[in-house]
Amino acid sequence: MTTLAQINAMTPEAFSAAFGAVYEHSPWIAQRAFQRRPFASDTDLLLALWGVVQAASPEEQLALIASHPELAGREAQAGTLTAASTQEQAAAGLGLLDAGQRAELAELNRRYAERFGFPFIICARLNSREAIFGTLRARLHNQREQEVHNALAQIGQIARLRLTDLLAA
How far from chain centre, in Å, is Cα 148? 13
All structural domains of the chain with their residue ranges = 4-63, 69-154
- In this prediction, residue 26 carries a pLDDT of 97
Half-sphere exposure of 89 (CA within 13 A, CB side): 23
Q: Which CATH architecture has domain 69-154?
A: Orthogonal Bundle (1.10)
- In this prediction, residue 39 carries a pLDDT of 98
- In this prediction, residue 82 carries a pLDDT of 87
- Surface-to-core class of residue 133, CB atoms within 10 Å of its CB (0-12 exposed, 13-18 middle, 19+ buried): middle
- In this prediction, residue 2 carries a pLDDT of 85
DSSP tag of 21: T
Q: Are 29 and 52 in contact (CB under 8 A)?
A: yes
Q: Read off the pTM.
A: 0.94
Give catalytic status of residue 149 as yes or no: no
- In this prediction, residue 60 carries a pLDDT of 98
Q: Are 91 and 125 in contact (CB under 8 A)?
A: yes
Distance CA 132, CA 145 (A): 20
Task: Please report, in angstroms and rounded to a whole number, the separation of the first and last CA atoms in the chain.
Answer: 5
Sign of the Cα pseudo-torsion (70, 76, 78, 81, in order): positive
Collect the ranges in the chain with pLDDT lower than 70: none
Distance CA 4, CA 20 (A): 17
- In this prediction, residue 5 carries a pLDDT of 96
Closest CA to 71 of 166, 143, 151: 151
Q: Of the residues 25, 68, 141, 149, which is catalytic?
A: 68
Closest CA to 111 of 156, 142, 148: 142
